[in-house]
Structure 1
Amino acid sequence: MSDHIGAQARSTGVVDMTQAADFAWTQLRVYTPYTSREKVCKDLGGLAPDCLKDAPPSVPEGKYLLVFINEGKEAQYVFHSRRNGNFQTSTGVLVLQRDAAVFEVLPTKSPHQGDAIYLQVRAQARP
């Protein structure tokens, strides 16, 4: 899935998570590197009753943890490599409903960033 996200970002400049995750889910939570299982499970609470059993021990340095929740009945835990996109968030977790889980690639501002991809949640159109 991580490679699919990276391919979308590189080819179109937009990542639609409904296309990247081809299974049933209603909410996406993105956890940053170094987040522990305990923090993930505390945040998820009743949305993922088997979290302590199913979630990885922690999120490695070069990855994000994507947690896809389906109606609070089940959760799927997927690692995403930072080489396929860095999610821009000001907190340790990004929470999005399925219909809002679309990201735009931010232009790189410095040559030091190389071919790094930065993903920002697409602003929702306002009526």
Structure 2
Amino acid sequence: MFDSTHAHITTWAIALILFVVVLVLQKGGNHKGAKITQMILRVFYLLIIATGVLLFSKHQSYNPALYGVKFLGGVIVIVMMEMLLVRTGKGKNTGILWAVFVIALAITFFLGLKLPLGWNMLS
């Protein structure tokens, strides 16, 4: 069923868009809209994890170490997204969280391009 990454890429692309939408809604003071959108985003977290686990279980034999690092990086990205939204909603400092988020996202994206299921642009 999961010979390609289309479902996984679609879910994380929509999640990143929803993440930005929630941030904009929070900054604009629309807390009810932000809360609803954040709940939808949480469903997408589950879909990202589900499609990622399916891809990982089927294809990790290509390079188990790098696929494991990519899996861990993806989980860190999701955790940072949620922590950023919660702390932003509470008005707390998020500087270090943004740094961890950007680094984890860059590493995960780089590995996604480099590994055999990726676009092989960096091979």
Provide the TM-score with structure 2 as the length reference.
0.26
User: Which protein has greater RCO, CA pairs closer than 8 Å, 6+ apart?
Assistant: 1
Higher strand share: 1
TM-score by structure 1 length? 0.26
